[in-house]
Amino acid sequence: MEVTKGDNGILNGTKTRFPNEFARHKTLDLIGDLTLVGHPIKGHILAARSGHRANIELAKKIKAYWEKQRIKMKYQETRTDGFLLDINAIKKIMSHRYPFLLVDRIIDLIPGVRVTGVKNVTVNEPFFQGHFPERPVMPGVLLIEAMAQVGGILMLDADTETEGKLIFFMGIDKAKFRKPVGPGDQVRFELEIIKRRNTLYRMAGKGFVSGDLVVEAELTAMIVEENQGGGTPDAG
């Protein structure tokens, strides 16, 4: 069938049923695309010449924000300004305790995409007694451990029940230590997922002190049941 442009500007001169039929079509497209969020939206949405690609990107951003808020409502009891989860919320998620809980706060999280968390380093850290008494330096292996614990939060979603779950770290690659970390430093860890297959995750992480890169690595980890035997020893 030959397709031509009609006198009314429409292919084959097809007549519209409504004067604003094209606007109605775009509105229906937008409504359909936003159902991908999976939750009702209470809001006023304005769109100018939008298409499916833009609509779907908007849906992804709304869904990511909603998932973040669900996690916050699930674990965070008190109000927070400028960050997502405090230490009490983190302790509900993670099984680590003193002296091996090495993340103090989660600043931001997009589940399954990226996370930002911090470790406040104080002179009272037990490892400084031997590393080194006269020149306190946080061991590189513990910087990687702290990064791994922040990465464990990244593997979380609002529907995951953390009770009875452990995160086993299976690989550490491309680890580099750029600058020493000592008492008084706050290490800001930023990680993003670069690959995922079922419960297996691969993440790229970096740690910064006052904007300077101090550590970086790629980590591979898996979520397992706490009573699951065997496997790779937990590095996180």
Instruction: Tell me the domains of the chain and their CATH numbers.
Output: 21-66 (no CATH), 76-225 (3.10.129.10)
Residue 230 has pLDDT above 70, yes or no: no
Give the model confidence (pLDDT) of 82-125 as tens digits: 999 999 999 999 989 999 999 999 999 998 899 999 999 999 99
What is the reported pLDDT for 116?
A: 98
Tokens of 111: 């589940």
- Dihedral sign, Cα of residue 69, residue 64, residue 147, residue 94: positive
Tokens of 160: 């995951």
Tokens of 52: 């499916």
What is the reported pLDDT for 39?
A: 87
Tokens of 129: 């007694």
Mean pLDDT, rounded, for 231-236: 46
Cα-Cα-Cα-Cα torsion 223, 226, 230, 234, nearest 10 degrees, comes to 60
Are the C-beta atoms of 87 and 132 separated by less than 8 Å? no
What is the reported pLDDT for 228?
A: 64
Residue 232 has pLDDT above 70, yes or no: no
CB atoms within 10 A of CB 227: 7
Mean pLDDT, rounded, for 66-77: 93
The side-by-side arrangement of strands in the sheet containing 105-110 is: 105-110, 114-120, 186-197, 200-209, 212-225, 165-177
Give the model confidence (pLDDT) of 181-219 as tens digits: 999 999 999 999 999 998 899 999 999 999 999 999 999
Are the C-beta atoms of 108 and 115 separated by less than 8 Å? yes
Cα-Cα-Cα-Cα torsion 42, 106, 200, 230, nearest 10 degrees, comes to -130
What is the reported pLDDT for 160?
A: 73
One-letter amino acid identity for 148?
A
C-alpha distances (whole Å) from 84 to each of 67, 115, 166, 176 are 12, 10, 22, 28
Q: CA nearest 33: which of 12, 59, 69?
A: 59
Strands (E), the chain: 105-110, 114-120, 165-177, 186-197, 200-209, 212-225
Tokens of 186: 């706050």
Q: Rounded to whole angstroms, how far apart are CA atoms 34 and 119? A: 38
Are the C-beta atoms of 118 and 104 separated by less than 8 Å? yes
What is the reported pLDDT for 233?
A: 43
Res. 172 pLDDT band, cuts 50 70 90: very high
Q: CA nearest 49: which of 22, 15, 11, 31?
A: 22
Q: Report pTM.
A: 0.83
Annotation marks residue 96 as catalytic = no
Q: Rounded to whole angstroms, how far apart are CA atoms 221 and 199? A: 8
Are the C-beta atoms of 217 and 175 separated by less than 8 Å? yes
Least confident piece of the model among 12-26, 29-43, 54-68: 12-26
Give the model confidence (pLDDT) of 113-162 as tens digits: 999 999 999 999 999 999 998 999 999 999 999 999 999 999 887 777 77
| % of the chain surpassing 90 pLDDT | 70
